Amino acid sequence: MIRPPEDITALVGTAVDFPCYVGGDPTPDVLWRRQAPGGTMPLGRVRVLENRTLRLEDVTLLDQGRYTCDVDNFAGVLSASAVLTVHAPPTFTTRPLAQTVETGQQVSFQCHVTGSPKPLIFWSFEGDRSLIYPGSSAGNFEAFTSVDGQSSLILKNAQVQNSGTVIICSAVNEAGSISTRTRLTVTSKEDRPPPVIIRGPSNQTLPLHSVAYLICEASGTPKPVISWYKESVPVSSSSRINMTNPGQVELYNLSKEDSGAYTCVASSRGGKATWTGHLLVDNPKNPNINFFKAPEVVMVPGPPSRPHALNQSEGSVTITWGQNNKIGSSSLLGYQVELFGREEGVIPTWTIVAKRVPGPSFTQHLLSPGVPYTFLVRAENSHGIGPPSPLSEPIIVGPDLGQNWGSPDSVLSEARASLVTTNIIKLTDAIPVSSTAVKLAWEVTDSTYVEGLYIYYVSVNEQPETPKSYSMLTVLHTGASSSFTVNSLSKWTRYEFFLIPFYKAIEGQPSNSRTVRTLEDVPHEPPINMEALLLNSTAVWLKWKPPPSIHGELEGYKIEVKTNGSLTPTLINVGTAPTFLLGNLTSGVVYYIKVAASTRAGVGPFSPASTLRLDPASRVTDNSLPRYVIVKI
């Protein structure tokens, strides 16, 4: 075989080639086969080239496994194998959603990511360099991982000072990185929106002496109080007006004096909402009048879906919603958009900001930064206006491009747009240069808004259930430097490194990660707890425990044996087992025994000398001399 296949690591979607160059007389036959949990060759994406190279197109994670080239002719048979490892960058399957809670409540954010190798997931807050790994906490926030791998960030007792926190979920692996941002809003009971009128009084034209029904259904927390006004004058019960149920006022034996504008007011501590309908009463024989009563519920459109923010910019927001399949008894005319924002000196109420909008989106301008705004939407047809959508989450506009969180400074907005929305840094290499140092190298595709880099690294030797601890360094970006050596690392330890670019208080998307182990070193401690078991008058069985930390792969042990009459000790090489049979001993001679562990980097320190003397009379070891534990026989 001239050139056998070699192990390959490839990204999802790329093509890979496994060579299998052979020679022989007669020309050998070449057959490729696959050994992997995924099954047989990926038909349709695999072919054998003229030079017997196996090519896989558009590789997937299921293509991972061992590929074997079998070669045979009349003279013999050969086989060679290579392993394909496929990497996939992190991808969100669940993103954390914006949350609004009242003070004292618990709130949680969910984040689930797939990728290969398994991505490292962590949480952070905008403007705060601290990271929260699953199993750890920061302040009142705690992160957990469920059995299915979903990461959760929980705040058990939300307080007003937590409001406005921008929550970031990020994930990194060697193939790439991903991050997403969302916002936590914490409100007090005083911040609750005003009541919402579900169904208000409709315009009606009714004949004399008939009955009018004025409807007013409202919801809110606390439950609102409903009151009625005609032309700004309170409506009260009388012999012709039944107000037993404020949600449905009944007017009997109508007269022309009953005509006018009737306003329903739903009020609570949170504010008020109003709805006005006009009643016209006339002679039923009047040919110029078109009489009509309030429409039935089924005749008006159903409520749209909850509106949510689609785009935000300084002072404005675009909301979008979904249409209800129930459009009522006539064609849809459009949507009515209502807005609530609690501003200083303004009575809390809902304001109609748009009528008969085609939908399903609307842009509201002239909003005040920092004020939480809530939207609702109603659909309208020729029969009237339908019930409201669910309330939107409070939306706070600000001077942030794309996601609107941050300073009004235009330069900072541009920096955020550059750092947050694009991945501008790639960690190209992590090379161990010593037992305590690793050199990192990176590339920056756009350094316009890169003031520096945060270097994060975490030990991956820890048990999976152990909360991860991380370390961080700050490196200023000068433009000329694209590497840095991280020192003071633990010896022979695996670390996962990644970088986060920053500009002032704005942090960008993390880079991909690189996992590397620091180099070996000689053991810094000797073996401990040596014991000797006397087998006969000329041999003892030695045993000990390895050093607490070896700093590398154990190559074996060296035993040093010296007598009181010798100048040069005898060195004996021992395997990795912490035991040795020491023979050819002489009774009455004092032996001094030391042991040291060794790695590929060298031999560590020897243990203190243990003294051993075989007494020819009693055949016991000497207990009067200092030594490690000596076992008698």
* Through-space distance between the first and last CA atoms of the chain, rounded to whole angstroms: 61
Q: What is the CATH number of domain 416-517?
A: 2.60.40.10
Eight-state DSSP code of residue 3: B
> Residue 516: in which H helix or E strand, if any?
strand 514-517
Could you give the C-alpha distances from 469 to 133, 460, 606, in angstroms and in order?
A: 8, 10, 34
Judge whether 531 and 540 are in contact, CB under 8 Å: no
DSSP result, 61-93? GGG-EEEEEEEEETTEEEEEEEEEEEEEEEEEE
Judge whether 98 and 23 are in contact, CB under 8 Å: no
Strand partners, 541: 533, 581
- Residue intervals in the chain for CATH 2.60.40.10: 2-89, 95-187, 196-282, 308-397, 416-517, 531-632
Length of the chain counted residue by residue: 633
pLDDT in the model for residue 480? 64
Q: What is the CATH number of domain 2-89?
A: 2.60.40.10
Q: Quote the CA–CA distance of 492 and 432 in Å, as a whole number.
A: 10
Strand partners, 503: 506
CATH 2.60.40.10 fits 531-632, yes or no: yes
HSE (side-chain half, CA atoms, 13 Å) at 614 = 20
Sequence-distant (6+) residues with CB within 8 A of 81 are: 5, 35, 66, 67, 68, 69
pLDDT in the model for residue 402? 39
What is the greatest pairwise CA distance in the chain? Answer: 141
pLDDT in the model for residue 400? 43
Which residues of the chain have a pLDDT value below 50?
400-408, 617-633
Indicate the residue type of 408. P
In terms of CATH architecture, what is 196-282?
Answer: Sandwich (2.60)
% of the chain at pLDDT higher than 70 = 93
Eight-state DSSP code of residue 145: E
Tell me which fold the domain 95-187 belongs to.
Immunoglobulin-like (2.60.40)
Q: Quote the CA–CA distance of 457 and 488 in Å, as a whole number.
A: 12
Q: What is the CATH number of domain 308-397?
A: 2.60.40.10
Phi and psi based region of residue 488 (left: phi greater than 0; alpha: psi -120 to 50; beta: remaining): left
Judge whether 155 and 136 are in contact, CB under 8 Å: no
Average pLDDT of the chain, as a whole number: 89
Could you give the C-alpha distances from 258 to 234, 253, 446, in angstroms and in order?
A: 13, 10, 72
Nearest to 163 by CA among 185, 192, 141: 185
Evaluate if pTM is beyond 0.95: no
Strand partners, 131: 124
